[in-house]
Amino acid sequence: MTAVSPVVKPVSQMRLAPGSTVNIQDISWEEFEVILQELGEKRSLRVAYSKSTLEIIVPLPEHKKSKDLISDIVKILLKIAGKSYEPFGSTTFKRENTAGVEPDACFYIQNYQRMIGRRKLERDDPPPDLAIETDVTSKTILDAYEAIAVLEL
């Protein structure tokens, strides 16, 4: 009988092709936080965490074009409506021990004044009013956005 040893490799060393999606089950909140730290902020892949499942997504190149187009349309509509806003790009939003998600883009509208000039989220910051997800590579994890209480997706 041969003993099987688990393979242990840091997530940051995984090499995934554009368009790839990896789901890892039974991830604790603490493990999710460690993985986020390991991956750092300057990266092309996106992560989502909900119900102890971590999803790692590597967007396709056309993903950025769609995201930029939709974001530009939102900005135009907000300007026409006379609404002030603060864009927050792709930021990691978390509800401790429950969910974590990184929208392709997001906007603060009701709380825009509170978020002006911010470089980092603080623990008591509200979720964005509008999050944009472009489903080119994978299907958005809706329950993560619900858990974080994003008003519109």
Q: DSSP string of 71-95? A: HHHHHHHHHHTT---EE--S--EEE
Q: Is the dihedral of CA 59, 102, 55, 152 positive or negative?
A: negative
Give the residue-averaged pLDDT of 96-114: 92
Q: What is the pLDDT of residues 51-67, one digit of tens each?
A: 999 998 888 877 778 88
Q: 91 phi and psi, to 5 degrees?
A: -115, 150
Query: For residues 28 and 114, what is the distance between their CA atoms, to the nearest angstrom?
Result: 31
Higher local confidence (pLDDT), 40 or 132: 132
Query: For residues 122 and 107, what is the distance between their CA atoms, to the nearest angstrom?
Result: 16
Higher local confidence (pLDDT), 48 or 142: 48
> Can you give the pLDDT at residue 1?
60
The token duo for 24 is 């890892």
Q: What is the per-residue DSSP string for 8-71? A: ---GGG----TT-EEEE-S--HHHHHHHHHHH-SS-S-EEEEETTEEEEE---HHHHHHHHHHH
Q: What is the pLDDT of residues 119-131, one digit of tens each?
A: 888 888 899 999 9
Query: For residues 68 and 141, what is the distance between their CA atoms, to the nearest angstrom?
Result: 20
Secondary structure (3-state) at 101: strand
pLDDT of 83 strictly over 90: yes
Confidence of residue 137 (pLDDT cuts 50, 70, 90): low
> Can you give the pLDDT at residue 140?
63
Judged by phi (left if over 0) then psi (alpha if -120 to 50, else beta), residue 75 lies in alpha
Question: What residue ranges do the domains of the chain occupy?
Answer: 16-148
Confidence of residue 9 (pLDDT cuts 50, 70, 90): low
Residue 144: alpha-carbon gap to chain centroid: 10
> Can you give the pLDDT at residue 111?
92
Rounded to two decimals, what is the model's pTM? 0.80
Confidence of residue 91 (pLDDT cuts 50, 70, 90): confident
The token duo for 36 is 């986020």
